[in-house]
Amino acid sequence: MKKKQKKDNEIPKTKACGSGIITNFTMAWIERLFNRVFFVGNFKDRRPVISSGLKYRGLEYVPVSVLYGGLTSYRREVFDEFKFDENFIDYGLSEDFDFSFRVSRKHKVVISPKARLEHIGSDTGRKNGRKIRESLILSLNYFFRKNLKKNPYNYLSFMWLITGLIVDALMIAMYKRDPELLIGCLEGVKKLLVKGRSDFIRPSA
């Protein structure tokens, strides 16, 4: 373990570096648990854990596969090789995930836990939760069809993540007596089933 920490602590030859995020939308322990349980395989996402400050505190850099779009510095030559996918339209909810994931397949991508950026979120100027959750389902499906091999492990990881989003929305519906997120999930899944599994499905505007 000490050898791994020492290796991660060395300044890497990296093409992209992100920071942790401090936000006024507090991530409860149940949300961190959800992320750890349902984001598995190629969907694994270390960002929330790093941002929480509960892990990796002593490291200068942590190798990751995905970065937050607004909290990242890329070397200029990255944009000669990679482009943002414009199929993620409007409130895409995965365009940063997609871009940084593609970069990380060829180059080293890291987050610096000591670099912190404060994000003051706002409830205004956003889609409602129902539309956001529907767009998230469709965006994740697009990411999966585009970037990952169609083997049993990746299929199961994708289905497990979608199941987790539905379970999360169901728990919120029961706790807050507000079914909007659950309806959004079901509408997203319905569109996947209607369009067919082999299609690239663009998030709706």
Q: What is the pLDDT of residues 150-197, one digit of tens each?
A: 999 999 999 999 999 999 999 889 988 889 999 999 999 999 888 654
Q: What is the pLDDT of residues 91-148, one digit of tens each?
A: 667 888 899 999 999 999 988 887 777 777 666 666 788 988 998 899 999 999 999 9
Q: How far is CA 130 from the centre of its chain?
A: 18
Strands 16-23 and 109-119: parallel
- pLDDT of residue 200 exceeding 70, the answer is no
- 3-state secondary structure (DSSP) of residue 74: strand
Whose tokens are 């379970």? That residue is 167
Burial group, residue 205, by CB count within 10 angstroms (0-12, 13-18, 19+): exposed
Model confidence band, residue 199 (pLDDT cutoffs 50, 70, 90)? very low
- pLDDT average, residue stretch 5-17: 63
Q: What is the pLDDT of residues 53-99, one digit of tens each?
A: 656 666 778 888 888 887 788 999 999 999 999 888 666 678 888 99
- pLDDT of residue 37 exceeding 60, the answer is yes
- How far is residue 44's CA from residue 16's CA, in Å, rounded to a whole number? 18
